[in-house]
């Protein structure tokens, strides 16, 4: 048995302890916002927050997650109103949306520890791959999210249905 907290709720997985966290979240907990991209830790689609750090769920076993606090895109905010989500929507960043949950989780972890990141710090903290090529708008949106988080300005758009939802 493996126990930890997911999105504020205690969970216990009766799975092989070496099962990647990604599959426990998706298959056992039905939290499909965490995406399978490459399975090798290269793309970032499976990024979740573990104890305040952006981590790749395909690269950590549930045994290694024992006793931690895991937050997925579904648990980031109740109304999809996290500053990163608001800024990405306002800047029309999401396109196909597959990479967006992982990017949002990586950006949220960055802003938790660095309230005023530079463009270079954003590039270093968000290595996620996006086939749609959202990078220029993404960096600007994360800078805007930092301003929102600091209380220096709001995003024009409000979250609507679908953003951050689990896409299958």
pLDDT tens, 32-79? 999 999 999 999 999 999 999 999 999 999 999 999 999 999 999 988
Q: Where are the beta strands (DSSP E) in the chain?
A: 2-6, 9-13, 47-50, 53-56, 69-71
Residue 142 CB-density burial (10 A; 0-12 exposed, 13-18 middle, 19+ buried): buried
CA atoms within 13 A on the CB side of 143: 11
Class of the CATH domain delimited by 83-149: mainly alpha
Residue 151: per-residue pLDDT: 93
Torsion on CA atoms 119, 139, 131, 165, rounded to nearest 10: 130
Phi, psi of 18, deg, nearest 5: -90, 5
pTM above 0.85?
Answer: yes
Residue 16 has pLDDT above 50, yes or no: yes
**Strand-by-strand arrangement of the 9-13 sheet:** 9-13, 2-6, 69-71, 47-50, 53-56
Q: How far apart are CA 119 and CA 53, in angstroms?
A: 19
d(CA 42, CA 89) in angstroms, rounded, equals 25
Q: Give the pLDDT score at 166.
A: 37
d(CA 81, CA 58): 26
Choices 3.30.70.580, 3.40.50.620, 3.40.50.2300, 3.10.20.30: CATH for 2-76: 3.10.20.30
| CA atoms of 157 and 160, how far apart (whole Å) | 9
Domain with CATH 1.10.150.120 in the chain: 83-149
CATH 3.10.20.30 segments of the chain: 2-76
The pairing of beta strand 2-6 with beta strand 69-71: parallel
Q: Report pLDDT for 110.
A: 98
């Amino acid at each position: 048995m493996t126990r930890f907290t997911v999105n504020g709720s205690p969970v216990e997985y009766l799975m092989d302890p070496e099962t990647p966290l990604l599959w426990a979240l998706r298959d056992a907990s039905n939290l499909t916002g965490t995406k399978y991209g490459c399975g090798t830790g290269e793309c970032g689609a499976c990024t979740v927050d573990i104890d305040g750090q952006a981590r790749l769920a395909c690269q950590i076993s549930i045994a290694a997650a024992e006793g931690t606090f895991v937050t997925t895109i579904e648990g980031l905010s109740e109304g999809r109103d996290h500053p990163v989500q608001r800024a990405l929507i306002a800047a029309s960043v999401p396109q196909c949306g597959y990479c967006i949950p992982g990017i949002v989780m990586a950006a949220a972890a960055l802003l938790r520890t660095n309230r005023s990141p530079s463009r270079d710090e954003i590039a270093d903290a968000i290595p996620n791959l996006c086939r749609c090529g959202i990078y220029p708008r993404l960096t600007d949106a994360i800078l805007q999210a930092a301003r929102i988080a600091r209380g220096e300005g709001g995003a024009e758009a409000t979250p609507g249905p679908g953003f951050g939802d689990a896409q299958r």
